Structure 1
């Protein structure tokens, strides 16, 4: 039993809960399932994320894991790799995330038998040559019934692939800041490549890579399903619940604190504000290895739990006819604000208001001020675009900040981006709003479940 569960049981005993307050770890699906299962018994929901990451992060492993291992990539300084990946100054951007990236590598490999768990016969697991119709147990393949299948270039049937980096100009902001040279920018984008549905890097052997590596391409018809299903959280839906995002400093880890600001950017873009979200940071770094367990102390957990309880109680007491979005913002307690603590948050005293060193201040030990390769490529902080719309490559585009490319470099970029570069000012291809509570019983794509229930107000 974790500290949150124990605290909840001590608080409500065995009675039916008035509210559902979900602590989101790496996967948010448990909260969604719990919320729907309790519809009618629970009057209002609140969430407090901790280790949430977007699916796009998995498509950006190529520059971290592969390109930086090539002769050209390894020649970049640690500061340049940090600038390209959006990681803290003074860190090696290539090494910063390699630990978690390597951990996830086999999880996307449909031919990796251990993915099918202990006791599953390896003799029937997929092999691209000898068992082309074998069982695939990758993280992507568990979505088969929702996403559907396609026949890949090798003739094998696989779960549709939603990850795409066609037109992404890696290192764009690093180029504008002069952290990398125009030639390094061109080399990076020629060599970064992409990953296939079998987790194969298009650049080949990093020791002697292809001079130009093909980008990874999604099956476009699966993209609307990604958005409709809520796999990429829809901020229009998030605006309906109070959010207290409790983040700990984890060092090099997939669950980086800046993802809280990503969530905030989505809320602002969709709703004009993020007043239903509060971010609170504590310093309790994990020591060695990777862990999906939050590392914040009991005092921080207890504080957030009680804050959420007061917030939900106030919403419940609001009997006005205003929308739930308005009620959530209006009833946020005055003391429920952004904060950062230079301690583990183990005790109530460590998270007292007087100990708040200031969210995003220089004294805050939680590293919120970082981003990702896709954001450094000019993409939105919201990271809610799986595949970008394209615009023609133009060497004089203001996006390059006045960078002067040689004629040869312009020719190489024109060839590389023959179909265009990302136009981040436009919605992503297939990007649409979420449709709460889809069922995939009838097959990929999904359909609405119990429309009469969905029309009911949560209050």
Structure 2
């Protein structure tokens, strides 16, 4: 048997074994397929807010909808100021245990609505009438459960807390209002005797590119904030404020403003409104707090990033680097030491750490004609970001679940960039412009300077790393879904078919759109640190889990706040051992802080911060390991390492490892010649002078000057 035939046999056997394993553990059918969208509605014109010079300086238009929404009626199906509705738009009221949406057309736009087995119409905007429900909360072994009661049972219920829940749709998303009540208030809408007059706006995370209404179960909203509900807070939320469904922060703000207006029109103004939410639910608070007023008074972002769009800068490097280490390196054995990879990727990597999808590596190596090997380590780039480059960056990718027909899929450009095309603009092919750029980036520069890699390795990486192909040239990932399963078997690992290759010269890098970058800044999709609200940025320490919620992200936010306002005294960082949850303590501290501002309206957030509220790290049992202004000092602020930084060491990113700053907010670096870089001492203590020729050949356009101004940032910002 020849080598090629042997590879085919091995590939077939391996794919068969994987298929059997997948089928044993996962269902074949997906209920969403019965509600698949087969036709795309045309959006009506709708106002889009002006962004110049920055969204924070632009007044919002007056409300046009009359709140409150009457029970049995529907909320607004178009937003107030964030542009035309996006289509296709998959309704998820059934996944939210609310039944089918209302029929709004007979032309076949949106999902089919059934009566029995018969289609009686279609819903393109997913509206639901506003309605009331009643719930109680029970606790067992520290776990809360929300139990729904019918109205008769609720009237008799007095043995445990009772809550009135209102759900409906606003801006096409599902909204939820939760109010603690007494049982004598069952049956009427405005009772609030158990409310402490404080409001929580719950945000939620995930990675989303639009095109879905999103799921929001009342029980989940309640259990996330169970302790706060028991303490008397009211809680509001919307599926439009869960980033699993969109990172359009203008639409998220528009929706949050209206959901809060619905609440206020029913119950009056709260003493304050505090945000809570993790990951994307944290960055949403940063951006809404920066961009607008009247929605949030205090922020509790959990394991947050400053924003989504600057996270893509290094996250989209991950597949480039994994592709290099797996398929392009001239010495693959050198990169089987995962801690060496960390020197390039910045994010943590650990030898002998298992990979959930490790079987994909030998499968793809076989297909590419390499000797197969299973990975003997893992990285945050893989463990945290696997698959996201295709989902966020590839207009041909779409969803694995069958929300949309093949015709609809072919007509739609699926990407994060497309979700924001009305802000970023589109190219000649109608594709949303991308901000991602890696021209002049010297991957592994810090590792070279610190002696972790050789000069030849540095050159080889940067010669072959390449960049993402222009969007019109990208192809869908090759993914097998054996016999109808929903679990993907990636056959084009690390998007290697969508990454440029070296030919006559180095593999071409990717040029981002200056227009998109400027619009991202102006439209408030970038956190520029312009927020003076009280902030408690809290997170578990998850670096040893290779979790994508890396600790350093809190410090990107801090750097930007300090750069913008000259200090970060309104920004407190808490880091806790993964077994201790500091959220309840964060609410107590935020309550003290906000009430102090209520008592002294002339005080800024920085001046009103309680003296006891400091940067802090917590032990497993909740005790304080260290607290104070210097406990997190370290490489990020060029100071001796503080106690918390020693206890909970943090890592960096591929762009920091390439010489970038810890603010992480440079889309497009200004370029300088290799001669200038050498004269500036950027390679020292490595002596780059004898290697001028090969450096110039590797970086023909020049290299990044990270001391310069981001070329994508408008000059008036």
Is TM > 0.5 for Structure 1 vs Structure 2?
yes
Residue 17 (str. 1) matches residue 270 (str. 2): yes
Residues 89/48 of structure 1: CA separation in 2 closer, same or farther (3 Å cut): closer
Alpha-carbon offset, residue 8 of structure 1: 3.5
Q: Report the equivalent of 1:276.
A: 570
- Listed one character per residue, the Cα deviations across residues 196-221 of structure 1 (whole Å, up to 9, x for unaligned) are 35467897599x96572111110121
Alpha-carbon offset, residue 63 of structure 1: 3.8
Q: Report the equivalent of 1:121.
A: 405
Q: Report the equivalent of 1:193.
A: 466
Residue 341 (str. 1) matches residue 618 (str. 2): yes
Q: Report the equivalent of 1:351.
A: 622
Residues 136/227 of structure 1: CA separation in 2 closer, same or farther (3 Å cut): same
Structure 2 unaligned segments of length 5 or more: list them: 1-220, 235-266, 353-376, 476-493, 633-640
Residues 434/66 of structure 1: CA separation in 2 closer, same or farther (3 Å cut): farther
Structure 1 unaligned segments of length 5 or more: list them: 127-133, 286-295, 344-349, 436-459
Distance in 1 between the 2:296 and 2:384 partners? 38
- Of 428, 431, 435, 1:162 maps to 435
Q: Which has the higher contact order (CA 8 A, sep 6+)?
A: 1
- Of 221, 225, 241, 1:5 maps to 225
TM-score, structure 1 as length reference: 0.76
SS in 1 for 2:399: helix
Q: Report the equivalent of 1:44.
A: 297
Distance in 2 between the 1:252 and 1:312 partners? 35
Q: Report the equivalent of 1:106.
A: 390
- Of 659, 662, 678, 1:381 maps to 662
Alpha-carbon offset, residue 406 of structure 1: 7.1
- Listed one character per residue, the Cα deviations across residues 313-370 of structure 1 (whole Å, up to 9, x for unaligned) are 11222233x6xxxx11111111211111231xxxxxx334478796576677974421
- Of 95, 118, 132, 2:379 maps to 95
SS in 2 for 1:402: coil
Distance in 1 between the 2:325 and 2:642 partners? 32
Distance in 2 between the 1:71 and 1:426 partners? 32
Residues 252/332 of structure 1: CA separation in 2 closer, same or farther (3 Å cut): same
- Which sits farther off after the overlay, 267-276 or 88-97? 88-97
SS in 2 for 1:231: coil
- Higher percent of residues as strand: 2
SS in 2 for 1:412: helix
How do residues 127-206 of structure 1 correspond to structure 2 at under 5 angstroms?
Answer: 134-151=411-428, 156-198=429-471
Q: Report the equivalent of 2:537.
A: 245
- Listed one character per residue, the Cα deviations across residues 158-209 of structure 1 (whole Å, up to 9, x for unaligned) are 1111100101111111111111111111111111111135467897599x96
- Which sits farther off after the overlay, 260-269 or 60-69? 60-69
How do residues 57-68 of structure 1 correspond to structure 2 at under 5 angstroms?
Answer: 57-68=314-325
Distance in 2 between the 1:386 and 1:26 partners? 21
Distance in 1 between the 2:276 and 2:647 partners? 19
Alpha-carbon offset, residue 382 of structure 1: 0.4
Alpha-carbon offset, residue 385 of structure 1: 0.7
SS in 1 for 2:387: helix
Distance in 2 between the 1:65 and 1:305 partners? 40
Are the equivalent residues in 2 in contact too, given 1:245–1:279 (CA < 8 A)? yes
Alpha-carbon offset, residue 61 of structure 1: 2.2
Distance in 2 between the 1:331 and 1:420 partners? 48
TM-score, structure 2 as length reference: 0.50
Residue correspondences, number = 396
Q: Report the equivalent of 2:681.
A: 398
Are the equivalent residues in 2 in contact too, given 1:234–1:433 (CA < 8 A)? no
Are the equivalent residues in 2 in contact too, given 1:113–1:122 (CA < 8 A)? no
Distance in 2 between the 1:24 and 1:192 partners? 36
- Which sits farther off after the overlay, 56-65 or 351-360? 351-360
Q: Report the equivalent of 1:72.
A: 330
Residues 197/139 of structure 1: CA separation in 2 closer, same or farther (3 Å cut): farther
- Listed one character per residue, the Cα deviations across residues 126-152 of structure 1 (whole Å, up to 9, x for unaligned) are 3xxxxxxx211222211112111113x
Distance in 1 between the 2:495 and 2:228 partners? 49
Distance in 1 between the 2:380 and 2:296 partners? 43
Q: Report the equivalent of 1:81.
A: 341
SS in 2 for 1:268: helix
Distance in 2 between the 1:26 and 1:232 partners? 15
Larger radius of gyration: 2
Distance in 2 between the 1:306 and 1:73 partners? 54
Alpha-carbon offset, residue 51 of structure 1: 3.1
